[in-house]
Structure 1
């Protein structure tokens, strides 16, 4: 039962991270601010995740998830409520930054808490359960968000989320085992230096950065496109239907879930290089397809969507493969290694948001981001084709 509550805290944290772009119109309504300014402020969410990835690991090791996880969840609840009242631009940025730090802390605590509950062979199995739950349920996040906001309101959703967070916080504090405290020190940063000398680590981290941090960049590009269309693109053909950001994001996540589930069964250290190579080629093609669809044909939503889905399918292959590779590379220092990878993921998200929302002459910035990622992933494809066994 305790694991179920850990999973609940993990999913509700990821829910708010995954639906940030979808929530911009609702936030704009409540805080009385143009959506364009909010989109430019979203970069502070990425900065918060970056800071969180760097600092929450040592904090969680020192005090343990039993004490820190409830704090993060309660703060997320409070900060979500803030987003339903009038805010200045600076206060909005502070709220987004602090909320993301707490999101990073919650996500980190899920893994730490799982390691307290399960040992030996059970630990990797339950970690896989976390990933499969995330990949599967995250496909429903955008749909659920849109339905609740449409039928009720963003404020109601925030209140429901807060109640759930309080229940989860109480249960975790009451039932999760204590963790033996580890003094806060700076050895983590010394270990980072050693990891950064290993090009295999850098290459595998780059895969993680593109698949996780980069995903929110793709969503940001589509969010910017849909903002010009009042939230949806209506297609008139044999059947009339509407394409929305929530629909695209949900289908994309489902694509990732399918391929991640299929690949996790067959993945091993002997074939991980092939999986990484194949996935990077798929992402490179998908990104370039989106670039051409938008930059050349100005049909990013209608034509580029196929490149987006291909990218999501390839990401499902890449994520379990890169996780296995990274866990093998930093097996002697998993905490330090994971902290560095998480920081890289968030940095790439910040880069993506800057390209999409903060560079002048849009949508040129978004298209440059697509082209940059396509080039990087094609280089990684060539590298993993020749990579020796990890």
Structure 2
């Protein structure tokens, strides 16, 4: 039984790695804690894990509970969490991709931290073993990325510099410490302490490496994986957004499935039905960070992501003409298939898979849903 609300079975999607990275990794770490914690679909937390939040600010005695067990796990593994961050920071600094304490550099480092459990899942396939520190780091980085996404969507310059306290205060003022089901499970001192350590890693003059006794496995490979995933995420945002606006222009039914494969489908739908929405505004966050690793495969993927972005704008400008939009759409599909194939190759190389899946246009329909230009709707 598929317990995760995903329209494609795990058996189907795990042989298409470019799509597999979007399948919810609802697994547990070695200590039995769900990677998604309270957001887990299949691993229910005990009521004993929750308490009323004792911390000051908007969270204080909030009606939503605080996950005390998650806080205990993070506190226990804090030294190893910082060591892992050190190893990622060192690799990024060696490639001159961080060094000036800017927000986009903070994003680069935390995106690697967030995706590192996905890398372990991709490498192992089965059985899944996610170490506790990597899992706890990923959860914390998820919160930072949520914060940074809010900043970038509010047009905060990516090259600006913010202190840990400023970031914490922004999260407090923007209600980002109040989640959908629970409040953030950490005191302000712990949040700012970890933020300060991560920010310090993006300063090339400080090189805060501390105790390197526990380094991440294959940190450079993890960086390539996280960058390839980000490029794939960007490509999917462009593809799905364009599919959506063409359905609005020429279709008769909603392009959004009840259960969708791409996790940002509802984000796209909610945004593009609002007043004064444009693709460039929607893409603002996803286009903030360009490719930052010198790798021929990644650079080729980046080229085609930029290509479909330009095509997407052409389609948006020609929604008064079905024929012109249809012409551009097929160009977009062709470039999207190139992206899928390049991403698949990168991931297969990492996992030592020799049988690389060959993508076809039907795969786009299966994963995203049919386009308004298709002659037939695929089941």
TM-score normalized by the length of structure 2? 0.30
Higher relative contact order (CA 8 A, sep 6+): 1
Greater percentage in helix: 1
